[in-house]
Structures are given as structure tokens and as C-alpha cells.
Amino acid sequence: MFAKPHLKLTLEGAQALLEAAVVKAEQIGVPECIAIVDDGGHLLAFARMDGARTLSVETARRKAATAASTARPTGGIAADVDTKLALATDGKLTNLKGGLPVVVDGKVVGGIGVGSGTGEQDLEVATAAIAAAVPQLRS
Amino acid sequence: MFAKPHLKLTLEGAQALLEAAVVKAEQIGVPECIAIVDDGGHLLAFARMDGARTLSVETARRKAATAASTARPTGGIAADVDTKLALATDGKLTNLKGGLPVVVDGKVVGGIGVGSGTGEQDLEVATAAIAAAVPQLRS
Amino acid sequence: MFAKPHLKLTLEGAQALLEAAVVKAEQIGVPECIAIVDDGGHLLAFARMDGARTLSVETARRKAATAASTARPTGGIAADVDTKLALATDGKLTNLKGGLPVVVDGKVVGGIGVGSGTGEQDLEVATAAIAAAVPQLRS
Amino acid sequence: MFAKPHLKLTLEGAQALLEAAVVKAEQIGVPECIAIVDDGGHLLAFARMDGARTLSVETARRKAATAASTARPTGGIAADVDTKLALATDGKLTNLKGGLPVVVDGKVVGGIGVGSGTGEQDLEVATAAIAAAVPQLRS
């Protein structure tokens, strides 16, 4: 088979995730950087909330891209391997918490990455965004 | 004076610019990457419309940051200087058309950068976004 | 719509393109580097034929990724813009000839990039590969 | 002696290694990125199996290049040295498991690097490829 059926995350979908993440971040009172990427790790939608760290723009993006590539939450790589992986990818693969894959109909269509809070806060915001925005569109 | 009053572009302002840009891009039928940065060149809001080029994510961002830093539209640097400036900034300063400063009450508060169309289309979208979204914020 | 139907280039498809390119390169007697990428510009399959240039490994890859992102053959960007685009993408967007998008059922699923010959030879090999490998799978 | 006899890994040899690696990866049910490089660390052949991680394209390549350069399996550098070596080579030397030198008649002619599985799975695939493809080339 030359090419197989897949799904492509739309800007509409990415913005739904972004909005849901902002709502959650406001609820817990933590300004966040939120990045949504497609399955190739390329940015689709982004927001830096007032007060969020400028240096988290990039960590949020890399968390999203890492989750999209690995198809699992960021932060779970063994401690003896994660620095090696980061160095071997010029820092693109990050093991910071706060990245989740976006899965629709069993296919990874992208990733969400949240940064500027603690790892736990970032993950909480990403989790809430997935829960609020993704399920309503599953078949 | 140790520090002086300034204006800081908010996420709300950045998103107003982003939405106005998307509206214009849809009107002219050109999917675009649109980046809004603050006065430090750091990303505030971003959207890649369906069909826009992944390689334009970065050019849109750099156009926005260049406009914010230079306080003028991108694309106007003399031909014998622009490559030198690009090389001396590792490509961060770009002379591609499609970047405009965001000016409020005479202060540069950020930049908008648009990429994926022709330079003229990109500039048209950026211009329309500034016209639609910025005036309402002026005092 | 959160996500829309798309197609994903398989390794089988990428290898069919690669083999067809090698056949053509052998016919014209020009050793080539041949890269096949997916729609996100990520490498799927690659071959450097005996005698092809090591520095063309990277140009072939970038031609493929540029064609996949721009949805058109590389080499057609106006002379006053192409260096600016290269600089603004850290050299990722290249205007060297020899890159073609891989289109199936109207969808860009990836790109092929060929390098080590002249631009015309590289393009001839890429064109032959697309002609030989892609049509047989169109619906 | 100004220059001495050497052996040069061919594309045919590289593709034999690649195919043997794919067979093993399919047997153990782990989609992998597989890179074959020459003795200069330059890519000769590559395949990303369907489902393998895009971020492993680069780690597989670096494992192969590291094994070719060091003439030994990757992953064996002492823990207090490996980060220093990675930093001093801009990440080019990696101590991730999954890279093996390709040795013919006592000469290192290249390297194979496998990535996307666990380090053990990657190494198992690389080992099987060497065992299946290299002996037949020995004199």
C-alpha cells in the first residue's frame, strides 16, 4: 500500500484544544504557554497567557512535538536515558511533564504541550484540554 | 528615570489581531501562518490555517519579531544590506515581506508576521489585521 | 471539524519511489542521493548510490522537505526571494532543483528530493520516480 | 605509504543490512528507524517503518555514526563521561543503545543505528542485521 488512510488535525481542532487549556489554566490560576502541533510536530496553534514565561514558549512547543512523536505523555522516560535522548535530538525530545498526544479514532493526529507552571500544573492543564476538546469528536 | 511607563500587548490583543488576520486570509482565499509577538519578539499567539505551509511557521514568526524590533514593515531593507543583516543575526532578522509592527499610542508593543502566500498577500493580511484590530485599542 | 481525512505515505510507498529513482539514475549514469519524506518533512527512505556526494545527503533531504511543504517542485522561487527564504528557515527551505511533491488523490503525502547530479539531472530522476511509482496507486 | 587499501561499504551492502533489520523488527513487532552509514558517518541507506517515531530518525543516524567512529557498540561509555562527550560533539556522539559498527575483514566500513524501540530492542535489531547480512560479505 503506497499510502494509507489517516486523519489530519485542523486549525479548528487545535483552537478548541487551546481554548480548553486556557480555561483550565485560568481556573487553577496559573498563566501558561500552550502549544498545539500536528503529527509531524509542526505548530498549529499557540497562546502565551499574560504572565506566562517567555522561555516556556519553546518548552511548550517541544513537549507537544515530543508527545506527538512518541505517542505518549512526556515525562515518563527513564532517568538514565532521557538526557541521552535530549542530547541526541538537539533538545527536541524533552522529558519534561506537560505534553500529551492528541489521539482521534486511535490515530495520533498531534500533540499538546503546556509550560510555565510546575510539571504537575502543566500536565493538569493538558489533560483537561484533551478531555474537554477531543472526546466530543470521536466516532 | 530608572524605568519608564510602557504598554504591554496582551493575549487578548494578540488574539484579536490573529482573528482579524484569519478573516482577511479567508477572504482572499490564501491559507496563512500568522504569528503575533510581543516587543521582545516572543510569541504570544499563532495560527497555521489548514493548507498553509509548515516551513512558513518559522518565517511568519521571524517576520513578526523583525517588525517588532525594527519598528517598521519588513521588506524595505536595501538589497545590498539585507543578506548581511540576516547572516549577522543567524537569520532572525528577515527582509521577507509580511511583517508589521503593532503600535499603540505611539509605542511599539509587538509585531505581526504572516507567511505562506506571496509577499504581497502576506502583507495584505497583516495590514488588514492591524487596521481591524489595533485602532480600537488606541486611546 | 476537529480532524479531517488524509493519507499517510507508507514505507512501502517510499521504497517504491526510491527504487524507481535508482533505476532512472542508473539509466542516465548519474549516481544520486535520493530522499523520500512524509508530509511533515520527516525522512522515510533514503539511498546514496555508490559515487554520489556525501554533501548531497542533506541537500536531497531538504529538497524533499521543501517540496512536501510548498506542494510544488523546488527551483521555481523568484531570485529576489529565495535567499531570504533560505536564511529565514536556517536553510531548510531550498530552491535547488530536484525536489517534487508526492501527491496521491489530490493530497500531498510527502516529497522526493534528488541530489548529486546537475539540477536538471536531479529533477529528471525525481520526475521519473513519481511517474513510475505514484500513478499506479491513484484511485 | 601515502594511502592504504581499504574497503568501502556499498549501497548494496547497506541495503542488505537495512532489509535484514526490517525483517527482525517485524519479527519482534517493533517499528524502527534504521540508518546505515559509511565509515565517515555519512548516510547510505535509511528506512522509517510505519509507526516508528519521527524523532528517532536522527537518533538512529547518530547511533550509526557513533558506532562507525568508535568501532564499538553504542551504550558502553561510562556514565560520568558520556554526557561530556555528547556536549563536546554537539550531540553527534551518542551513548544510546542500538548502534553497532559494520566490520568486514577486520575493517570498520560503517555503522548501523536503530531507534524507536527500547534500547534493548534497538540493539537486538541491529545485532540481527549484522549477523544476517555481514558474514556473507566476508572473505
Chain C residues closer than 8 Å to D11 by CB: 47-50
Partners of D112 in the beta sheet? D36, D100
Q: What phi and psi values does residue A105 have, to the nearest 5 degrees?
A: 50, 40
- Which tens digit of pLDDT belongs to each residue from D36-77? 999 999 999 999 999 999 999 999 999 999 999 999 999 999
CA distance D8 to D104: 10
**What's the confidence (pLDDT) of residue D136?**
54
Using alpha carbons, select from A46, A44, A24, A26 the residue that is nearest to residue A35. Answer: A46
Chain B residues closer than 8 Å to A43 by CB: 46, 48, 57
| Three-class SS of C105-126 | CCEEEEEEEEECCCHHHHHHHH
Res B138 pLDDT > 90:
no
Distance from CA of A26 to the nearest CA of D (A): 32
CA distance B129 to B122: 11
Element (H, E) at B56: helix B56-70
Q: What phi and psi values does residue A78 have, to the nearest 5 degrees?
A: -60, 145
**What's the confidence (pLDDT) of residue D79?**
87
Q: Say if the Cβ atoms of A70 and D53 lie within 8 Å.
A: yes
Using alpha carbons, select from A74, A60, A65, A69 the residue that is nearest to residue A32. Answer: A60
pLDDT band with cut points at 50, 70 and 90 for residue D29? very high
**What's the confidence (pLDDT) of residue B80?**
85
Contacts of D34 (CB under 8 A, 6+ apart): D18, D21, D22, D25, D46, D47, D48, D49, D60, D112, D113, D114, D125, D129
Q: What phi and psi values does residue D64 have, to the nearest 5 degrees?
A: -60, -45
Mean local confidence (pLDDT), A104-114: 96
Mutate one of C6, C42, C84, C89 to test the B interface: name it (highest B CB count within 10 A): C84
Mean local confidence (pLDDT), A25-53: 98
pLDDT band with cut points at 50, 70 and 90 for residue C80? confident
Chain D contact present for A93, CB below 8 A: yes
Residue matched to cell numbers 503546556: A114
Q: Say if the Cβ atoms of C13 and A1 lie within 8 Å.
A: yes
**Chains A and C: how many Cβ contacts under 8 Å?**
70
Q: Say if the Cβ atoms of D91 and A88 lie within 8 Å.
A: yes
pLDDT band with cut points at 50, 70 and 90 for residue D129? very high
**What's the confidence (pLDDT) of residue D135?**
60
CB C39 within 8 A of CB C92: no
- Which tens digit of pLDDT belongs to each residue from A49-100? 999 999 999 999 999 999 999 999 999 999 889 999 999 999 999 999 999 9
Mean local confidence (pLDDT), C107-117: 97
Chain B contact present for A10, CB below 8 A: yes
Res D93 pLDDT > 80:
yes
CA distance C48 to D91: 24
Of B54, B87, B119, the CB nearest to C41: B54
Q: How far is CA C30 from the centre of its chain?
A: 17
Q: What phi and psi values does residue A64 have, to the nearest 5 degrees?
A: -60, -45
User: How confident is the prediction for chain B on average, in pLDDT?
Assistant: 95
Res D137 pLDDT > 70:
no
By C-alpha distance, the chain C residue nearest D9 is C50
pLDDT band with cut points at 50, 70 and 90 for residue B137? very low
CA distance D16 to D134: 8
CA atoms within 13 A on the CB side of B105: 8
Question: Which subunits have 3 or more CB–CB pairs within 8 Å of chain C?
Answer: A, B, D
Res C139 pLDDT > 80:
no
Mean local confidence (pLDDT), A99-117: 97
Of C45, C47, C54, the CB nearest to D11: C47
User: How confident is the prediction for chain C on average, in pLDDT?
Assistant: 95
Contacts of D29 (CB under 8 A, 6+ apart): none
Which of residues 12 through 41 in chain C touch B, CB cutoff 8 A?
Answer: 40-41
Contacts of A55 (CB under 8 A, 6+ apart): none
Element (H, E) at B107: strand B107-115
Provide the percentage of residues in chain A whose pLDDT is more than 70.
96
**What's the confidence (pLDDT) of residue D80?**
85
- Which tens digit of pLDDT belongs to each residue from B25-60? 999 999 999 999 999 999 999 999 999 999 999 999
**Could you write out the DSSP letters of every residue in A26-76?**
HHHT---EEEEEETTS-EEEEEE-TT--TTHHHHHHHHHHHHHHHTS-TT-
Q: Say if the Cβ atoms of C57 and D42 lie within 8 Å.
A: yes
Chain A contact present for D59, CB below 8 A: yes
Is this complex scored with an ipTM above 0.90?
A: yes
Res C39 pLDDT > 50:
yes
pLDDT band with cut points at 50, 70 and 90 for residue C135? low
Q: Say if the Cβ atoms of C11 and D44 lie within 8 Å.
A: no
Provide the percentage of residues in chain D whose pLDDT is more than 90.
94
Provide the percentage of residues in chain C whose pLDDT is more than 70.
96
How many CB atoms are located within 10 Å of the residue B41 CB?
Answer: 18
Chain A residues closer than 8 Å to D94 by CB: 84, 87-88
Q: Say if the Cβ atoms of D11 and C50 lie within 8 Å.
A: yes
Chain A residues closer than 8 Å to C12 by CB: 1-2
Res C97 pLDDT > 90:
yes
Contacts of A100 (CB under 8 A, 6+ apart): A67, A73, A74, A111, A112, A123, A126, A127, A130
Using alpha carbons, select from D9, A2, D17 the residue that is nearest to residue C129. Answer: A2
Res C137 pLDDT > 50:
no
Res A137 pLDDT > 70:
no
From residue D61, alpha-carbon distances to D35, D96, D108 in Å are: 5, 11, 17
- Which tens digit of pLDDT belongs to each residue from B55-102? 999 999 999 999 999 999 999 999 889 999 999 999 999 999 999 999
**What's the confidence (pLDDT) of residue B79?**
87
Residue A93 DSSP class: S
**What's the confidence (pLDDT) of residue D138?**
47
Q: Say if the Cβ atoms of A47 and B15 lie within 8 Å.
A: yes
pLDDT band with cut points at 50, 70 and 90 for residue B136? low
Chain A contact present for D78, CB below 8 A: no
